[in-house]
Amino acid sequence: MSRPAGPLRSTGPRDTAGDGGRSAGTAVPPDGTAAARVEGATKVYGSGDAAVRALDGVSVGFPAGRFTAIMGPSGSGKSTLMHCAAGLDTLTSGAAYIGGTELGSLGDRQLTLLRRERIGFVFQSFNLVPTLTVAENITLPIDLAGRRPDREWVEALVDVVGLGERLLHRPGELSGGQQQRVAVARALAGRPDVVFADEPTGNLDSRSGGEVLDLLGRAVRDMGRTVVMVTHDPGAAAHADEVVFLADGRLVDRMTAPTAGRVLDRMKAFDGRRQDHPAGPRDGGGDRRRGGAPA
């Protein structure tokens, strides 16, 4: 992975890291590299009266080898940020980078290759291929890229996700939690620069969700991977090294070494603010959500 061009700046969120403001305003440590980042990211859906400013000048980096959670009220732009940072959607203005590669500079084919080779995805709905076995699902991105799987790495992954006995099963024969563990193994199989997870525990009970979060945490701490996760759940966010908070399409806060209690308290502050401004400041209150879970 190449290093980013320079130090990353946020749009000036408050610092709740409890580090005396040392890190306030910077999205990565001074000596850190960002596996992914956006600079001045703005995304407007629609036009004229129907325009929705889903992201409004967000600058944030997701440091390599760290687990970052993105939180914020419903409609605050979390999924849009993740999708634009991961090259699944394009920004209206600003720039998104994976390592040193600016996504806006890539053509469709190059972008597809970059997503395939350098990014892993975990979605709320697992998105496994039902006709393939667990083993085939795990190596699918590597096979699509025409690469040879690193057997040792894949075996280590299978071991970590605890599905060694199930390798020849189809997704339909697994529980939701097991399917999501397969999805995590698939996301990590090609040793991507960064894994983006969008509400990975949204469809799971708390025990299965906890197992998936432990797995994502181990991928970072034991395997040196980078994970960026969108979540509504303060308990899930507490598994991360850092939480970045969005509100109304802006980066408003960040918190290192989060606990569920501190994250919950921070989210409650958004609820209070909502009651003051129930219609929302950006789009006249029209709710054009894409079907994410309720906050």
Structure tokens at 267: 């989210």
Q: Report how far residue 192's alpha carbon sits from residue 79's, in angstroms, rounded to the nearest whole number.
A: 20
For residues 69 and 227, the answer to whether their CB atoms sit within 8 Å is: no
Closest separation between CB of residue 125 and ligand ATP, Å?
13
> Taking the alpha carbons of 269, 275, 281, 283 in that order, is the dihedral positive or negative?
positive
Q: Which residues contact 144 (CB under 8 A, 6 or more apart)?
A: 116
> Is residue 292 part of the contact set for ligand ATP (CB under 6 A)?
yes
> Is residue 52 part of the contact set for ligand ATP (CB under 6 A)?
yes
> Is residue 74 part of the contact set for ligand ATP (CB under 6 A)?
yes
> Is residue 290 part of the contact set for ligand ATP (CB under 6 A)?
yes
> Is residue 104 part of the contact set for ligand ATP (CB under 6 A)?
no
Nearest to 97 by CA among 123, 139, 124, 62: 62
> Is residue 4 part of the contact set for ligand ATP (CB under 6 A)?
no
Closest separation between CB of residue 147 and ligand ATP, Å?
32
Closest to ligand ATP by CB, 53 or 186:
53
For residues 55 and 80, the answer to whether their CB atoms sit within 8 Å is: yes
By CB under 6 A, the residues from 215 to 234 that bind ligand ATP are 232
Structure tokens at 40: 């001045």
Nearest to 61 by CA among 90, 91, 77, 81: 81
Nearest to 92 by CA among 46, 59, 27, 60: 46
By CB under 6 A, the residues from 27 to 46 that bind ligand ATP are 45-46
Helical segments of the chain, H only: 78-85, 108-118, 134-144, 151-161, 176-189, 206-221, 234-237, 260-276
Closest separation between CB of residue 256 and ligand ATP, Å?
21
Span near ligand ATP by CB under 6 A; candidates 16-24, 172-180, 234-242, 286-294: 286-294
> Is residue 289 part of the contact set for ligand ATP (CB under 6 A)?
yes
> Is residue 78 part of the contact set for ligand ATP (CB under 6 A)?
yes
Closest to ligand ATP by CB, 193 or 198:
198
Structure tokens at 101: 């590669």
Candidates 4, 13, 72, 209; binder of ligand ATP (CB under 6 A) is 72
Closest separation between CB of residue 232 and ligand ATP, Å?
6
Closest separation between CB of residue 277 and ligand ATP, Å?
14
Interface residues with ligand ATP (CB under 6 A)?
45-46, 52, 54, 72, 74-80, 232, 283, 287-290, 292, 295
